[in-house]
Structure 1
Amino acid sequence: MSKHIGIVEDDANIRNIVSAYLKKEGYQVSVLESGEDAWDLWETQPPDMWVLDIMLPGMDGYEFCKKIRNESDVPIIIISAKDDEIDKILGLELGGDDYLTKPFSPRELLARVKRVFKRVQPMGAQKEPSEGKLKVDNLLIYENERRIFWHGEEQEVTAKEYDMILLFAENRNRAFSREELLVKVWGENYFGSDRAVDDLVKRIRKKLKGISLETVWGYGYRLRSEDD
């Protein structure tokens, strides 16, 4: 079955162009003009990904993104005419998986859609939980299912939170610079501030209370473990 993508954009021209490109690639597409319409779709026929504009009538994109993240880690690509760094940081901090500034090439958006789907694809894999298991102290990761357990309790994490936790777990006790983390978690084409790294670490520490995710002052972070 083809992936279902919800496009939330109040500009009809952009909606139609993006929709046409995605449909040509075989995706099932729903086009919506407001956050309220998008939320109705979420409750009846939830998409596998959102392409979300920030400047919307009524419920704006930030508010919609926040509401979705309270329920799911479904991928969200934010598109916006706002190109200020603070807007990008806010969008990513609220749980966006990528941020694209208008005007943009539909081909670039398509490439990002494919890249994000590729990154989260293992979430749908149906394999035995015993396969791909990684344990670090009180942290347990089932890689094939992209599931995180902390002190025996499953935690809801976003795609980027999972990617960063897995990276640290696979390289415990190794210090990563903020620049390295940007490349490995956000990709080489990300041009935002390394503050996004600090914000993501803050969210992980909040969810996995007591995790030994240490700050390496003036450099970056590492996951301290006694397992090695």
Structure 2
Amino acid sequence: MNNNAVIAIVEDDENIRHLVEAYLHKENYRTVGLGSAEEALEFWKSSPPKMWVLDIMLPGMDGYELCRRIRDEAEVPIIMISAKDNEVDKILGFELGSDDYLVKPFSPRELVARIKRQLERWDKLGQDGGLDAGKRAEEMKIMLGRLQIMPEERRVFWDKTEVELTSKEFQMLKVFAEHPNRAFTREELLSYVWGDDYFGSDRAVDHLIKRMRKKIDGLPLESVWGHGYRMREGQVQV
């Protein structure tokens, strides 16, 4: 893990922002503090950070919209922080692509621990790069009827038309495509996509499924009454 990577802290409360940065500096992380989403977008254009920590309640554009814009174009870890502790707020954060959600007031040490965990997880995902990446990407391609998934490039095609998905949508679709006709419980899907340490409602799964169905018209993803969901179509070719 590279502790020299820049972590962007987007928080309009200077006291909180400076406190978080101070704790991260003790762990030898480099940080940039930004007071608004608009400042963050300007910074992003010239110096994309390794990771984002986003407050939800910001002046102007809120953290939800900033998270959505980042996730639409970049695969980097995102942690959202907020005084909002309602389940619906957490679910919305995860749906938009956040990897973790921490409620204020929080311990700066806990935030640092979560940051470390996310960076380690993302670094592990990127450790398989190499000269034969193109060949490996072709070998890993997943074909399921009209659906095509390219895991190395994190791209999805439906009827040869590319579909833009959030990180969570991509992860869940990949799970289904790798296990056609298998019925998954909501708890299993939460574990696969959000991780074993997620403590929110399983309604997050329902919301994500709804979004996937809306984006991919005709996706053979069906509800299994009293159990969960499955994708029923053909066999996967890898």
TM-score of Structure 1 vs Structure 2, range by shorter chain? 0.7 to 0.9
Maintained 8 Å contact 1:178/1:221: yes
Q: Within 5 Å, which residues of 2 pair with 1:111-190?
A: 111-121=113-123, 122=125, 125=129, 127-128=133-134, 129-190=137-198
Maintained 8 Å contact 2:11/2:58: yes
1:222 aligned to 2:224?
A: no
Given candidates 30, 33, 36, the residue that maps to 1:31 is 33
TM-score, with length taken from structure 2: 0.83
Deviation at 1:177, TM superposition (A): 0.9
Identity across aligned pairs (percent)?
58
Per-residue Cα deviation, 1:87-128 (whole angstroms, up to 9, x for no partner)? 212222333222111122333323333443455444684511
Structure 1 residues 135 and 99 mapped into 2: Cα distance closer, same or farther (>3 Å)?
A: same
Deviation at 1:73, TM superposition (A): 4.7
Q: Within 5 Å, which residues of 2 pair with 1:80-91?
A: 80-91=82-93
Deviation at 1:69, TM superposition (A): 4.1
Deviation at 1:24, TM superposition (A): 4.1
Maintained 8 Å contact 1:123/1:145: no
Given candidates 105, 108, 113, the residue that maps to 1:106 is 108
Aligned residues: 228
Maintained 8 Å contact 2:37/2:62: yes
TM-score, with length taken from structure 1: 0.87
- What is the alpha-carbon distance in structure 2 between the residues aligned to residue 175 and residue 219 of structure 1? 8
1:19 paired residue number: 21
Deviation at 1:26, TM superposition (A): 4.5
- What is the alpha-carbon distance in structure 2 between the residues aligned to residue 225 and residue 175 of structure 1? 12
Q: CA RMSD in A?
A: 2.4
- What is the alpha-carbon distance in structure 1 between the residues aligned to residue 151 and residue 120 of structure 2? 14
Maintained 8 Å contact 1:5/1:27: yes
- What is the alpha-carbon distance in structure 2 between the residues aligned to residue 104 and residue 156 of structure 1? 34
Unpaired runs of at least 5, structure 1: none
